Chain A
Amino acid sequence: MITLKNPPGGYWDPAEHAVSEAETLKLLIPAGGAYSDHQLKGTQALKKADIIRELFEVDVFINISIVKHHVGTNFSCILKNMMGALPHHTCRYFHMGTGKPGWYGDLDHMNRCIADINSVRPPDLSVVDASSFILTNGPFGPGKLATENAVVAGVDPVLTDAYCCRFLNLDPESVGMIQAAAEMGLGKADPTGARILNTGS
């Protein structure tokens, strides 16, 4: 098992099963940190990108993200998490690629770049940690904490994000990256009518 990008230190530590699953956690191998250059076709805003090499070498790709507030996009989850597979300069293009001033001067461009990068290698499974997450000061925090004790898994990354908007009291229609990804045909932006299996106790 390869982790393309490890979460900041200690993510696994508070987990209830961190001790009992210690041997499993040891199987996680961090990616080597090398990126390969890709020319993208059929994308909206991102025409080329450096992407972490191992993304194209794995048989199964699972995108695991925490749902949380984000200072620029208001929402961060599966789709946004893909920026973790990119080097700094590619991420910077998401922010400032059109030359408009400010880190979030062109959110439409950023949302389309996020959708584009998700088209390169869509995840086979998306898993969202909604156990506890920040509602303010995201994505790094610390901030106001919400506890839902929920884990959401889905095969449609766009729909998974759309479903998780409820944790931040957001309407998926107001989240630009979800709309941009849906427009590209990467998934459904409307969780209404989706088949949801609730295994909660």
Chain B
Amino acid sequence: MKWIPLTLVVLVLWTVPAPDSGAAELSDFLPENTVWKPEGPATRADNEADLFAAINGGAERYLRYGFKRALYQRFQDSEERRISLEIVEMGEQTGAKSLFDELAGKDGTRVDIGDEAVLHGYYLLFRKGPFYVSVTGTGLGKEGRKILMQAADSVVRRMETTNR
């Protein structure tokens, strides 16, 4: 009967719920500051059909790993530099990791943001808990790296401070 305790342990692990944001809205994680202004309303995707419509192709990649919901918001500063923010909540933390692993690539620079992050020339990807986030810059110039890092860091801080 040695198998019984092992079975119980496995069952308990299996049923531990994934970390849930508990956040009312993903928009709670959007950074707020005086420099970067939102460009129009955020686009939400709360189901498969929404996701297909929102990202115009490639939704399958997200669904494969347990897509739950997503939010897309663009920001612009006074110099017409732009940042696009994509926040995706997966059903499980492992889903966010799988998605990140697939998209991170091998030639980026690893940076210390969230659970794991990678910085490429014009974009930064990170994951934290069940969330996968991409920050993409347009026309950021020499300050691109710094701006992407700051934007990502502010999202992480919002995630950490939002009531759960």
Contacts and interface: CB of A to CB of B under 8 A. Distances in A.
B134 A9 contact: no
A91 interface: yes
B48 interface: yes
Interface in B24-55: 39-40, 43, 48-49, 52-55
Nearest to B123: A142
Q: Is the interface of B mostly helix, strand, loop or mixed?
A: mixed
7 contacts: A10-B74, A14-B82, A71-B58, A88-B49, A142-B122, A142-B134, A143-B105
B23 interface: no
A150 to B, nearest CB: 19
A138 interface: yes
Interface in A68-85: 70-72, 76, 80, 83-84
Given A9-B74, A88-B49, A144-B105, A95 B60 contact: yes
Contacts of B138: 10, 13-14
B82 A144 contact: no
Contacts of A142: 120, 122-123, 125, 134, 136
Interface in A28-85: 70-72, 76, 80, 83-84
A8 B60 CA distance: 17
B64 interface: yes
A98 interface: no
A62 B120 CA distance: 34
Interface residues of A, number: 30
Contacts of B136: 141-142
Contact of B58 (A5, A14, A102, A138): A138
Nearest to A86: B52
B48 A9 contact: no
A72 to B, nearest CB: 7
Given A9-B74, A14-B138, A14-B139, A139 B58 contact: yes
Contacts of B49: 88
A99 B72 CA distance: 32
A18 to B, nearest CB: 10
A140 B51 CA distance: 11
Contact of B53 (A88, A103, A145): A88
B123 A8 contact: no
B111 interface: no
Contacts of A8: 54-56, 72
Nearest to A19: B80
Contacts of A83: 57
Contacts of A144: 105, 120
A7 B43 CA distance: 13
Nearest to B134: A142
